[in-house]
């Protein structure tokens, strides 16, 4: 059974292309579009309204952050100082990626331990910049603040090491594309069963002692194998071409990929339960997959969508799959930090399967 799946699949050139080549082309395309393997330097303007030793320390430390080691070390932030007006104009003109405003009285506030806010301006349209820059700045400032308030030695501030993979858009994209591909592989799987039902192949198999469970399981195992191969391919290309790191554990990544496959295959079967023909199913699949691809943070962070879309974004299974894959690949996050992701994916799977079992017809 498995062998027959394999042979038919391998001979279907279009399917081959979309499953294996397509995601790789995506990775390459976006990788190069977002600056490829070059580590970006961010132009940051600082408006220092305080002028205390503490604020100077912040500026110096931002300036000192580098990626890479030894000779290849490179500054992450290219810092210019100026007044609020001119820095903001430079941001608007695109000369700067962000502007940090250190308010007057920061130094004294830190000493007296009263809360003070540092403002960061950035260009919302530059999503790729924003998604990398903001968390980084946030992290740096948090770290600085912690060390500043805990220690009297203001100059001796520990610089948080920023790993290069946290800085690049491609690191964000690869897990997203992986998630997208799992979605496509899973949902498009329903076409096989719809075609076979339409061509009476399912009926013909019904005349043999073959169990239906065997049929379904072999289809599932096959899909999972395809997903695992795709996963390996995407990560390999990401690694070789763009030096994308895979920080987390492989078993966890594979497990998450398989859970995602199951969830999306279930959604595919749900489609097969209601749509009888291939011609009818294809537009439905597109209506489901394409908005999901864009709304689930495959290419842009979920935070960059307007608020009214948030409920939709939060309902989509791909949002959670991509998030989980990203956590594993980028942060090497532990399992418990993904409980929501796992629960939502499992929930989708169970609910769609229940509806499918109720309405699915074999002939």
Query: Phi and psi dihedrals of 99, rounded to 5?
Result: -125, 130
Give the count of residues interacting with other proteins (CB under 8 A). 20
Q: Is 16 in the site for other proteins (CB under 8 A)?
A: no
Quick check: 355 and 270 in contact, CB under 8 A?
A: yes
Nearest-approach distance from CB 360 to other proteins, in angstroms: 17
Nearest-approach distance from CB 359 to other proteins, in angstroms: 19
- By beta-carbon proximity to other proteins, the closer residue of 112 and 213 is 213
Q: Is 4 in the site for other proteins (CB under 8 A)?
A: yes
- By beta-carbon proximity to other proteins, the closer residue of 25 and 201 is 201
Q: Is 279 in the site for other proteins (CB under 8 A)?
A: no
Spell out the long-range contacts of 156-160 with Cβ–Cβ below 8 A and sequence spacing 24 or more.
Answer: 157/57, 157/61, 159/61, 159/64, 159/65, 160/65
Nearest-approach distance from CB 203 to other proteins, in angstroms: 6
Residues from 42 through 61 that contact other proteins (CB under 8 A): none
List the structure tokens of 187.
């949902």
Q: Is 276 in the site for other proteins (CB under 8 A)?
A: no
Residues from 197 through 256 that contact other proteins (CB under 8 A): 199-201, 203-211
Nearest-approach distance from CB 218 to other proteins, in angstroms: 12
- By beta-carbon proximity to other proteins, the closer residue of 117 and 208 is 208
- By beta-carbon proximity to other proteins, the closer residue of 84 and 205 is 205
User: Cα(77)–Cα(60) distance, rounded to whole angstroms?
Assistant: 11
Helix, strand, coil percent content, the chain, rounded in steps of 5: 70, 5, 25
Query: Phi and psi dihedrals of 73, rounded to 5?
Result: -60, 140
Give the number of other Cβ atoms within 10 Å of residue 112's Cβ.
9
- By beta-carbon proximity to other proteins, the closer residue of 94 and 206 is 206
Nearest-approach distance from CB 13 to other proteins, in angstroms: 10
- By beta-carbon proximity to other proteins, the closer residue of 210 and 287 is 210
Nearest-approach distance from CB 207 to other proteins, in angstroms: 4
Beta-sheet pairing, 98-102 with 42-48: parallel
Residues from 344 through 363 that contact other proteins (CB under 8 A): 363
Which candidate, 53, 89, 56, 59, places its Cα nearest to that of 77? 59
User: Cα(197)–Cα(216) distance, rounded to whole angstroms?
Assistant: 13
Q: How many CA atoms lie within 13 A of 359 on its CB side?
A: 14
Interface contacts to other proteins, rule CB under 8 A = 1, 3-4, 7-8, 11-12, 199-201, 203-211, 363
């Amino acid at each position: 059974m498995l062998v027959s799946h394999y042979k038919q699949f391998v001979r279907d050139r279009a399917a081959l292309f979309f499953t294996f080549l397509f995601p790789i082309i995506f990775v390459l395309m976006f990788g190069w579009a977002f600056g490829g393997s070059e580590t970006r330097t961010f132009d940051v303007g600082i408006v220092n309204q305080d002028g205390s030793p503490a604020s100077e320390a912040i500026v110096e430390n931002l300036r000192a952050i580098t990626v890479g080691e030894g000779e290849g070390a490179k500054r992450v932030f290219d810092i210019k100082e100026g007044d609020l007006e001119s820095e903001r104009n430079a941001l608007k003109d695109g000369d700067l990626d962000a502007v940090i405003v250190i308010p007057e009285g920061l130094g004294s506030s830190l000493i007296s331990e009263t809360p003070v806010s540092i403002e960061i301006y950035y260009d919302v349209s530059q999503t790729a910049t924003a998604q990398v820059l903001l968390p980084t700045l946030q992290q740096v400032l948090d770290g600085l603040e912690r060390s500043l308030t805990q220690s009297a030695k203001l100059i001796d501030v520990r610089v948080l090491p920023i790993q290069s993979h946290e800085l690049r858009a491609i690191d964000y994209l690869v897990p997203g594309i992986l998630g997208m591909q799992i979605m496509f592989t899973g949902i498009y799987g329903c076409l096989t069963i719809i075609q076979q039902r339409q061509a009476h192949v399912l009926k013909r198999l019904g005349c043999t002692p073959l169990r239906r469970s065997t049929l379904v399981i072999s289809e599932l195992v096959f899909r999972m194998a395809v997903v695992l191969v795709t996963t390996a391919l995407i990560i390999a290309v990401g690694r070789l071409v763009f030096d994308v790191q895979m920080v987390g554990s492989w078993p966890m990544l594979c497990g998450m990929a398989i859970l995602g496959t199951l969830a999306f295959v279930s959604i595919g079967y749900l489609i097969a339960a209601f749509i009888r023909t291939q011609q009818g199913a294809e537009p439905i699949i597109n209506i489901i997959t394409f908005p999901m691809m864009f709304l689930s943070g495959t290419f842009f962070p979920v935070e960059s969508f307007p608020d009214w879309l948030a409920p939709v974004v939060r309902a989509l299974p791909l949002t959670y799959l991509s998030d989980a894959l990203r956590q594993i690949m980028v942060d090497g996050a532990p399992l418990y930090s993904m409980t929501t992701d796992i629960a939502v994916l499992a929930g989708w799977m169970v609910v769609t399967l229940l509806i499918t079992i109720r309405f699915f017809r074999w002939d």
